[in-house]
Structure 1
Amino acid sequence: MQLTFDETVEAFRAEFVAFLDEHLPDESEATERARSTSHLPEWARRWQRLQFDNGWLAPGYPPEFGGRDAGVIEQYVHREELARRGIYENFNPQGLGIIAASLITFGSAEQQRRWAIPILRGDMTASLGMSEPGAGSDLAGLRTRAVLDGDRFVVNGQKVWTSGAHDADVLLTFVRTDPDAVKHRGISALLIPTDSPGVQRRPFASVCDRDDLDFNEVFFVDVEVPAENLVGELHKGWAVATGSLGHERTLLWLAFADRLGNLVDEFEPDGPVQADQYATLIMDNYALRLLGSGALAAAARGVDDVAGMSVLKLLGSEAAQRATEAALDASGPGGLAHPGVTGRRSALNLEDVAAGWFDRYVRTFAGTIAGGTSEIQRNIIAERVLGLPR
C-alpha cells in the first residue's frame, strides 16, 4: 500500500497551490453571496472564468473545457486543496458537475460550443430538471411530456425541487417522448432556455433557506423547444440521466469525509457530544477515508466500482447525519438558534459559519436524499455487492 503521492502528483499540487496563493479572491472582493445554486455574483463569474482560462476549473476535463486532462488522483488533490482552504468548489454545481459534463459526454459539437463552454466560463448558469411530484427517486416514473412536431418539441408538465431554476439560464430537462415504451425507455433529455414562452418558475422556501430561496417548482405549458436542443439520442435519455448522476461519483465521498473531519475537529473529546459518540465519529471518519482511498486507487487503475461508490455515499452521508443529530440532542434549546443569530455566511463558502445545530442537522438530509437516496444506495449494495434478489 502506497500512502503518499508520487512526484508528478505533488508537482501538480504545488502548481495549483501557487495559483490559489496568487489569485484566490479574499473576503474584500467576495462581498456578495450567491443567492441560489444557479446565481453567480460578478466576482464569482470572474473567479470561475480565471480558473477556466488556466485549466483549474475542472482539471479532469480537456483544455478546451477548462481542464488539463488530469487523472483521478490529480482531481482528488485538486479538491483536497480547495477543502483545505474551506473554499466551495464552484457556485453552480449542477451546471458544472452535471449539465456541462453531460454535454461533454453526450452533446454535439454545436451544443458544447453554445451551452457547455458558456456554462463552464460562468457566462450562463444551468439547473437540472429531473424530479417531479410523482417521480423523485423513481426518475423512470416521470410524466413531463415532449411531443416532436416537425423541427421542434412541445413540452408540457411539471418539475419540482429544481435547485436554482429561478436564476438559471437553461434547464437540462428529462421528458417522456415515447409514452408507450417501458419505464426506462422512451425518455429524452432537452435543453430548455428558461426564458422560453410557457416556462414558469416558482421558487419556494425550505427550513434551510429562509433568507435565500433555492428550490423551485417549474411548469411547462406548450413550451416549444428546437429539436436541435435534444441531448443524446431520441428516446434514449436514460443513458444521459444515469451518466449525469454518475459524473462526480468517484470523488463524491470526499465531501462527506471533509465534513466528518471538520466535525471531529469541532467536537473534541470535551465537546458537545458524549465520549462514545465522539469515538464513533472518529471511527466513521477513518473508515470513510480508508475505503475512499481504496476506491480512488481502483479508479486510477480504470476500475469503475458503482456499488462501492454506493457504500461510500451511504456511510458518509449517514455518519454526518448521526453526528450532527447527536450534537443537536446534546446542545439543548440552544441548538435551535438560527444562523442569522449565531453566525454569518461567507461569500466564498456556501456553508453556514457557526450555524445552529438544528439547521446543520436538517441540511444533512440533502446528502441522504440527493444523488440517490439512502434506500436506493442500499438496494444497489444488496443486489450488486451481496448478490441478493431484487
Structure 2
Amino acid sequence: MQLTFDSDVEEFRAEFIAFLDANLPGEDVAVERSASSADVPEWARQWQRLMFDSGWLLPANPPEFGGRNATLIQQYVHLEELSKRRIYHSFNPQGLGIIAASLLSFGTEEQKRRWAVPILRAEITAALGMSEPGAGSDLAGLRTRAVREGDEFVVDGQKVWTSGAHDADVLLTFVRTDPTAPKHKGISVLLIPTDSPGVTRRPFPSVCSPDDLDFNEVYFEGVRVPAENLIGEVNGGWSVANGSLGHERTLLWLSFADRLEDLLGDFRPHSAQDHDAFAKLIMDNQALRLLGSAALAREARNEQDVPALSILKVLGSEAIQTASEQALYSVGLEGLAHPTLSSPPSRMSLDHFSSGWFERYMRSFAGTIAGGTSEIQRTIIAERVLGLPRA
C-alpha cells in the first residue's frame, strides 16, 4: 500500500499550482455569474480558453484538445487542486465533460475540429438531449424519432430536463432511428444546432430554486439535420450513451467527497443526536475517499471495475443527501430561510456553496437520480458484486 504520490505526480501538481497562482481571474472580473449551465460569461470563456491553450483544461487529452496526455493519477491531483479553490473547469460542465468527450471518443476527425474544439475553447456551448417525459432514467424508452431522407435526418419529438438548452448552441440528441429494433438497439445520436428551424426551447424553474431557469422542455418539429451530424454509427447510440455517462463516472466520487466535506464543514451539531449523525457522516466521508482511492489505483493499473463505480455512486450521493438533511434539521427554522443573493459570489465557486440549507437539501436528491439512479446502481451491485440472479 502506498499512501503518497510519486515525484512525477507532485511535479505535475506543482506546475498546475503555479499556473493557477499566476492566472486565476481576480475577484474584480469574476463577479459576473452564469444564468444557466450553458451560459458562460465572457471572462469565464477567456479563462477556459487559457486553460485549453495551456494544456490544463482536460489534462488527459492530447495537446490539440486542451490537455497534455496526463495519467489518471495526474488527472486526480488536477481535480484536487481545482476543488481546493472551489473553481470550475467550465461553466458549461455538460458540454465539457460529456458532449465534447463523446465527440472525441465517437466523432470523426472533421466533427472533432468543427464541434469538439469550439466547445472545449468555450466558443460555443452545448446541452445534452437524453431524458424525455416517458424516458428519464430509462434511456431505451425514448420516442424522439429521426427518419433518414437523403442527406438529412428529419427529427420529431420532445426532450425534458435538458439543462441549459435555452442558452446552448448545440444539442447532443439521442433519437430513435429504427422503431422495429429492440429498444436499446434502435437509437442514434445527432448533434443538432439549436437555431435549426423547428427547434423550440422552453426553460422552466425547479422546485428547489424557483428563480433559477436551467431546466428546459425541448420540442423538435420536422427538424432537418444534416446526416454529417450523426455521431457514431446509425443505431449505435447505446454505445455512445454508455461512453457519455462513463466520461463523468470515473472520478465522480471525488466530487461527492468534496461536497460532503464542505457540508461537514458547515454542519453545527447541537444535540447528542446531531453529534452521532455528524460522526457517522465523517466515517462515510473517510470510507468514500478510501474506496475511491482504491478504485482509482485499480483503474490506473487498467483493471476495469464498473461495479466499484456503482458502489461509490450510491455511497457518495446518499451520504450527501443524508448530510444535507441532518444539517437542515440541526439549524432548525433558520434553515428554511432563503439566502440573500443580491451580492453574488465573487469566485468561480460551485453553486451549492452559495445556497441556503433548504436548497442544498432539495438539490441533494439530484445526485441519487442523475447519472443512473440509486435503484439502478443497486441492481448492478446485486448482479455483478453479490452474484444475485436477474429475476
Name the TM-score class by shorter chain.
Answer: over 0.9
SS in 1 for 2:212: coil
Aligned residue in 2 for 1:116: 116
Aligned residue in 2 for 1:327: 327
1:346/1:209 CA distance change after superposition, 3 Å: farther
- Retained in 2: the 8 A contact 1:33–1:347? no
CA distance in 1, matches of 2:223, 2:204: 22
**Structural RMSD (CA):** 1.5
Does 2:287 correspond to 1:287?
A: yes
Listed one character per residue, the Cα deviations across residues 170-201 of structure 1 (whole Å, up to 9, x for unaligned) are 00000000000001101000000000000000
Aligned residue in 2 for 1:56: 56
CA displacement at 1:354 relative to structure 2: 5.1
Q: Which 10-residue stretch deviates more, 143-152 or 272-281?
A: 272-281
Q: Calculate the TM-score normalised by the size of structure 2.
A: 0.97
Listed one character per residue, the Cα deviations across residues 209-231 of structure 1 (whole Å, up to 9, x for unaligned) are 33331000000000000000000
1:51/1:314 CA distance change after superposition, 3 Å: same
Aligned residue in 2 for 1:144: 144
Does 2:159 correspond to 1:130?
A: no
Q: Which 10-residue stretch deviates more, 347-356 or 254-263?
A: 347-356
Uncovered stretches (5+) of structure 1, i.e. residues with no partner: none
Q: What letter matches 2:68 in structure 1?
A: R
CA distance in 2, matches of 1:348, 1:202: 27
State percent identity of aligned pairs.
69
CA displacement at 1:88 relative to structure 2: 2.3
Q: What letter matches 2:167 in structure 1?
A: D
CA distance in 1, matches of 2:61, 2:272: 42
CA displacement at 1:138 relative to structure 2: 0.5
Does 2:256 correspond to 1:253?
A: no
Q: Which 10-residue stretch deviates more, 170-179 or 258-267?
A: 258-267
Aligned residue in 2 for 1:385: 385
Q: Which 10-residue stretch deviates more, 213-222 or 362-371?
A: 362-371
SS in 2 for 1:165: coil
- Retained in 2: the 8 A contact 1:147–1:177? yes
Aligned residue in 2 for 1:302: 302
Q: What letter matches 1:222 in structure 2?
A: G
| Aligned 1:67-216 pairs, distance under 5 A | 67-216=67-216
CA distance in 1, matches of 2:59, 2:153: 35
Question: What is the total number of aligned residue pairs between the two structures?
Answer: 390
SS in 2 for 1:214: strand
CA displacement at 1:360 relative to structure 2: 0.5
CA distance in 2, matches of 1:350, 1:6: 30
CA displacement at 1:328 relative to structure 2: 1.2
CA displacement at 1:82 relative to structure 2: 0.5
CA distance in 1, matches of 2:98, 2:387: 30
CA distance in 2, matches of 1:273, 1:318: 19
1:246/1:271 CA distance change after superposition, 3 Å: farther
1:266/1:315 CA distance change after superposition, 3 Å: same
CA displacement at 1:310 relative to structure 2: 0.6
Uncovered stretches (5+) of structure 2, i.e. residues with no partner: none
CA displacement at 1:366 relative to structure 2: 1.5
CA distance in 2, matches of 1:313, 1:284: 13
SS in 2 for 1:172: strand
Aligned residue in 2 for 1:274: 274
- Retained in 2: the 8 A contact 1:154–1:222? yes
SS in 1 for 2:214: coil
- Retained in 1: the 8 A contact 2:268–2:330? no
CA distance in 1, matches of 2:200, 2:109: 29
1:182/1:324 CA distance change after superposition, 3 Å: same
- Retained in 2: the 8 A contact 1:343–1:352? no
CA displacement at 1:387 relative to structure 2: 1.0
- Retained in 1: the 8 A contact 2:146–2:156? yes
